[in-house]
Amino acid sequence: MSDSQDRRRLARFHNRYSRAHHGPSWALLKFVAELATSPFEPPEVARVAPTVDALRSNRNATTATWIGHASFLLQQGGYNLLTDPVLSERASPFSFAGPKRLQAPGLTLETLPPIDLVLLSHDHYDHCDLPTLQALRQRDDPVIVAPLRLGQWLGRRGFDRWVELDWWEQHQHQTLHIHAVPVQHFSGRAALDRNRRLWAGFIIESPGWRCFFAGDSGYSRDFADIGARFAPIDLALLPIGAYEPRAFMAPVHANPEEAVRMHQDLGARRSIGMHWGTFRLTTEPMNEPPQRLQRAVAAAGLPAEAFITVALGETLYLDEAAGDTAPADHST
């Protein structure tokens, strides 16, 4: 029996390098109390008008557009992909409670080009938003690529165009190869389903170009393993927010300094920081992640442009030959 077949039989999944998690129930209660009482200032996140017509007509250029949180529109190999699309007002099972969106999406359902593929990294509400997925199914009916058992969860909700992958498995969509890779996180949407569905990052590979989408992850040796298989990676989308209090969040959410280590382990030519500024999930000041990222990039001796953050709605046009990036021209 293969490792993948054996893992499919597991009742619950586990990380490869660490069994650490948030901790006992009292730690969760302490975190909730700190989040409720810690000072809060709304984040200052730059925004630009998206180049809607250019994105809709694009068939050749490789681009990345930040929609918010972990949601990106990627145009690669002539296809339009979405990562962890969340367009709802709350990252929550409820419309009246739970983390509320603090920034409007950089692209809306109306301004998105037709979507061919959706990549879901795991089942948490800030990454797997059922209303957004249902709206995309009704409009475009894209193929959804998801980790083990998350596709089955979608199937029970009426979706029929989905593919499940274990870590290190791949799905081929015409000239695109989508590889699921291990990251360090967890899953669960309710009290009793923790780790019953797998979590993953993705390598999106087309001729001459590789992009990595991390989803959610703490720092682990997984990134060196991914780099050993896939480096050089032309563009990495890496989480830099939702990391405090450190004792509670370190196993599952990287801070900016650890994100820089991920970038280096991956052998990434360029990286974009994500998972910040959209939902208040943890206790660090919401403007802190990009500031700490800049300092961490400098401390690591990397060029400033090696690991950046972008504005909501901003499109980077990516030179496949040189690995260079350039912002879209938003002038009128």
Q: Give the domains, in start order, of the chain with CATH numbers.
A: 48-320 (3.60.15.10)
Q: What is the pLDDT of residues 88-132, one digit of tens each?
A: 999 999 988 899 999 999 999 999 999 999 999 999 999 999 999
Q: What is the pLDDT of residues 33-80, one digit of tens each?
A: 888 888 888 899 999 999 999 999 999 999 999 999 999 999 999 999
* pLDDT for 25: 61
* pLDDT for 20: 84
Alpha-carbon separation of residue 231 from 29, 44, 134, 139, 268 (angstroms): 41, 34, 35, 36, 7
Cis omega (within 30 of 0) on the bond before 245?
yes
Q: What is the pLDDT of residues 275-308, one digit of tens each?
A: 999 999 999 999 999 999 999 999 999 999 999 9
Helix residue ranges per DSSP H, 9-58: 25-37, 52-57
- Can you spell out the DSSP letters for 112-163? SPPP-EEE-----TTT--HHHHHHHHHHT--EEEEETTHHHHHHTTT--SEE
Residue 327 has pLDDT above 60, yes or no: no
pTM score, whole prediction: 0.94
* pLDDT for 325: 55
